[in-house]
Structure 1
Amino acid sequence: MLSNTQNQQPVFPNQQQQTLQQQNPAQFLQFHVKPTLQIKKNAITDEYKVTSQVLGFGINGKVLEIFQKRDGEKYALKMLQDCPKARREVELHWRASPCAHIVRIVDVYENLYQGRKCLLIVMECMDGGELFSRIQDRGDQAFTEREASDIMKSIGDAIQFLHAINIAHRDVKPENLLYTSKRPNALLKLTDFGFAKETTTHNSLATPCYTPYYVAPEVLGPEKYDKSCDMWSLGVIMYILLCGYPPFYSNHGLAISPGMKKRIRMGQYEFPNPEWSEVSEQAKQLIRTLLKTEPTQRMTITEFMNHPWINQSMEVPQTPLHTSRVLKEERDTWEEVKEEMTSALATMRVDYEQIKIKTIQDSSNPLLKRRKKTNSSGTDTQTPAT
């Protein structure tokens, strides 16, 4: 439970514990006892210099750059209006903080901010930017299938830790996957627990809250959903990593179209050429297993982490992919997709029956249709750079 104090400092796993976590999450959880979250009541400005520099935007507002006065270390500050929902978000994120691939909470303060009682969450600063921005900005260096495998393993590590402690993240998407730095060896971490929920075997999650492009089929109707939603999201992210565009699209201006809803529920997607021509069948089969429309048929995170494409990455072919080039060519479209996803968050938090969406005539994937037309004209059939 949450409590208030000023003295106890958070304890995070050492190298031995992190190694154990990666090898056996269940054993790690028994070995590592997570300390109770201690919320400080003194002013955050006693220990940190708060700046007006905006680092990014989360579900509930902007994230600011701050510096620890003691050593000048840079951190990120997220502010939430104090309420039971906010405290739950902070508590679940805190429980997940020992994972090497989840953004770490350093301190939490209960302070007045602009006359309102707020929770101020101090987190490690993720200077490396978003996952796909990093791939987009690679220049001429080819992005390979083996690199995609390594990235998916990092994301899988985060989901495996969460599911082992009965937390479903429920909003696993590219914008919530950030690098610690610009360095080549930077860690990829999952953040933003605004939609996270604790789940047990007997209590499935029921509130639709997903971003449409990464939404599992059962979220689109009245059915309940659970940890398998995160597995669906892994499938969508893996798909994008291997080609540069998502498997499902809505028409511009609509948060989620009827046609897109139907395709997601029926699991209708394809592996079109040229982007998929050289991708291994093993990778495609893994995506098919992750994107199963029936949640009970979808693989679990344990099965995912034990899949050869994930746990034997040195055996995954170093095939150069089209991903970086496609992301660059479709940069404007990608930004539009992100904007639509952001605007759709509020919509997807209410029951699907309450969402009013106008009918559309053409519900096909406009990006893919344009790319097919370009490919058929012979102007976009080059192989990726090696």
Structure 2
Amino acid sequence: MQFLVAHYIEGKMNDLGLRSVRTPKSTPITEDYEISNTVLGLGINGKVVQCYSKKSGEKYALKVLHDCTKARREVDLHWRASGCRHIVNVVDVYENTYRGNKCLLVVMDMEGGELFQRIQDKQDGAFTEREAAQIMREICLAVKYLHNMDIAHRDLKPENLLYTIPDHTGILKLTDFGFAKETLSKDTLQTPCYTPYYVAPEVLGPEKYDKSCDVWSLGVIMYILLCGFPPFYSNHGLAISPGMKRRIRTGQYDFPNPEWQNVSQDAKDLIRGMLCIDPTQRLTIDQVVRNKWIAQYTEVPQTPLHTGRMLREGEDIWPEVQEEMTRSLATMRVDYDQVHIKSLDNTNNPLLNKRRKNKGVNDLPSHMLK
């Protein structure tokens, strides 16, 4: 069987204004789409290739999924959530067989590229704190939409934030529901699904966790948006090293200068609330959206940030960071007992070190030397 999602279609709505479960089409997908061999990316549960509508010639992205419980959950949750302006729209769902795959999913083609690539390529002046606030507002609206539906995304990261078109009118949208899970009001999530740089402390241990882990990931994304490097990092080529786990568990991060020197206190305070290691004290998505730095983003200072420069100078390192993230996506389960936390006498942030190497900025903040 196959599932397919494409660019835009009016789905049925339930009493809450949310999309209801769609009945998959039984006709062959090849009657409606020309499928190319161009691979656009790899998701948690399958690869994404390019395809074209035979009727309109429009370009779409086709996600190929093997029919299984995880794939069906991904399709169902993505379909129901795609009514949000900042979530990639599911257009069609096909259930048939194609090239030996039992599942197909087509999503709207996001021609504008990834979030961080756009910041790195920005030519018309420096990336500002106000722009970062606007971006965070758009991402938070997508997460709020999900949480209101009792859905946790569980893998929020920049690579899953894509623009519709390359110019300034492009809309930022959240995609890839491979780790998404429905969470009823009294239920908590227990499967440790994550990408290293964006994982919350409670996901690393045996404790239960819920939608608050998405807020932690948002905090990490916001941190990177404002400076160009992550607050937590791995030093030993592992997807998530013991030292990195320790730093996440104990909330060891800082706001080092010069990158953070001119960033507003409001932004730093919001990050602290989102990266609180106690999930019961961590801000909820509703609190984040109501925070003045988000809600009143047009009043946030237009302070030039180091983000674009740091991303450009670390261009050769950033793919390595993404590779670490990708390796972690190979499994949905991690046996925490197999990973032993140990003290590290001397660790540092290779991403930040290399970028500063030729600039004489070698005195790292204390949290990077523990």
Asked whether the two chains share a fold, i.e. TM above 0.5, the reply is yes
Distance 2:214 2:93 in 1: 27
What is the one-letter code of the residue matched to 1:103?
Answer: V
Query: Does the CA contact (< 8 Å) of 1:257 and 1:363 recur in 2?
Result: no
Query: Which deviates more, 278-287 or 357-366?
Result: 357-366
Per-residue Cα deviation, 1:209-235 (whole angstroms, up to 9, x for no partner): 101110000011111110000000000
Could you say which residue in structure 1 is the equivalent of 2:230? Answer: 246
Which amino acid in the other structure matches residue 34 of structure 1? R
- The aligned runs of 1:138-177 (5 Å cut-off) are 138-139=122-123, 141-177=125-161
Secondary structure of the structure 2 residue equivalent to 1:112: coil
**Deviating more after overlay: 33-42 vs 196-205:** 33-42
SS state at 1:98 partner: coil
Instruction: Identify which range, 346-355 or 210-219, moves more after superposition.
Output: 346-355
**What residue in structure 2 maps to residue 22 of structure 1?**
none
Aligned to 1:88, what secondary structure does the other structure show?
A: helix
Counting only pairs closer than 5 Å after superposition, residues 347-358 of structure 1 correspond to structure 2 as 347=331, 349-355=333-339
| Letter of the 1:11 counterpart | E
Instruction: Pick which of 248-257 and 343-352 moved more.
Output: 343-352
Deviation at 1:350, TM superposition (A): 2.4
Contact 1:257–1:360, Cα closer than 8 Å, also in 2:
no
Q: 1:109 aligns with which of 86, 94, 100?
A: 94
What SS class does the counterpart of residue 330 from structure 2 fall into?
A: helix
Question: What's the % identity of the aligned pairs?
Answer: 61
Q: Which moved more, 1:341-350 or 1:203-212?
A: 341-350
Aligned position for 1:221? 205
Matched residue SS, 2:257: coil
Work out the number of aligned pairs and report it: 359
Name the residue aligned to 2:65.
80
Tell me the distance in 2 between the aligned counterparts of 1:332 and 1:373.
14
Contact kept, 8 Å, 1:145 with 1:318, in 2: the verdict is yes
After TM superposition, give the deviation of residue 182 of structure 1 in Å.
0.1
Question: 2:349 matched to 1:365?
Answer: yes
Unaligned runs of 5+ in 1: 14-27, 379-386
Q: Is the 8 A contact 1:239 1:247 kept in 2?
A: yes
Residue 320 of structure 2 is aligned to residue 333 of structure 1: no
Distance across 2 between alignment mates of 1:67 and 1:121: 14
Per-residue displacement from partner, 1:144-176 (whole Å, max 9, x unpaired)?
000000000000010000000000000000110
Structure 2: runs of 5 or more not aligned: 363-370
**Aligned 1:5-84 pairs, distance under 5 A:** 10-12=9-11, 32-84=17-69
Note closer, same or farther for the CA distance 1:360–1:281 as it changes in structure 2 (3 Å cut): closer
Distance 1:245 1:266 in 2: 19
8 Å Cα contact 2:26-2:95 kept in structure 1: yes
- Cα deviation for residue 346 of structure 1 reads 2.7
1:338–1:320 CA distance, 2 compared to 1 (3 A): same
Read off the aligned partner of 1:244 and give its amino acid letter. Answer: G
Match 1:210 to one of 194, 215, 230: 194
Determine the C-alpha separation between the residues in 2 that align with 1:266 and 1:355: 17
Q: CA deviation at 1:348?
A: 5.9
- Residue 65 of structure 1: how far off its partner (Å): 1.1
Kept in 2, the 8 Å contact 1:93–1:105? The answer is: yes
Rounded to whole Å, the distance in 1 between the matches of 2:228 and 2:24 is 42
Partner of 2:367: none
Q: Give the C-alpha shift of residue 344 in structure 1.
A: 1.7
Q: Partners in 1 of 2:322 and 2:21 — Cα distance? A: 36
* Residue 265 in structure 1 maps to residue 215 in structure 2: no
Contact 1:243 1:323 in 2 (8 A): yes
Deviation of residue 111 (structure 1)? 2.0
From 302, 309, 322, give the equivalent of 1:318: 302
- How many angstroms apart in 1 are the aligned matches of 2:247 and 2:14? 39
The letter for the 2-side match of 1:193 is: F
- The answer on 1:275 being equivalent to 2:259 is yes
Task: Please state whether the residue corresponding to 2:42 is helix, strand or coil.
Answer: strand
Measured after TM superposition, the shift of residue 74 of structure 1 is 1.3
Q: Aligned-pair distance for 1:84?
A: 1.7
Change in Cα spacing, 1:356 to 1:255, as seen in structure 2 (3 Å) is farther
TM-score by structure 2 length? 0.91
Alpha-carbon deviation of 1:354? 3.8
Q: Which has the higher helix share?
A: 1
Match of 1:301 in 2: 285
Residue 295 of structure 1: SS of its match in structure 2?
Answer: coil
TM superposition score normalised by structure 1: 0.87
**Alignment-derived partner of residue 92 in structure 1:** 77
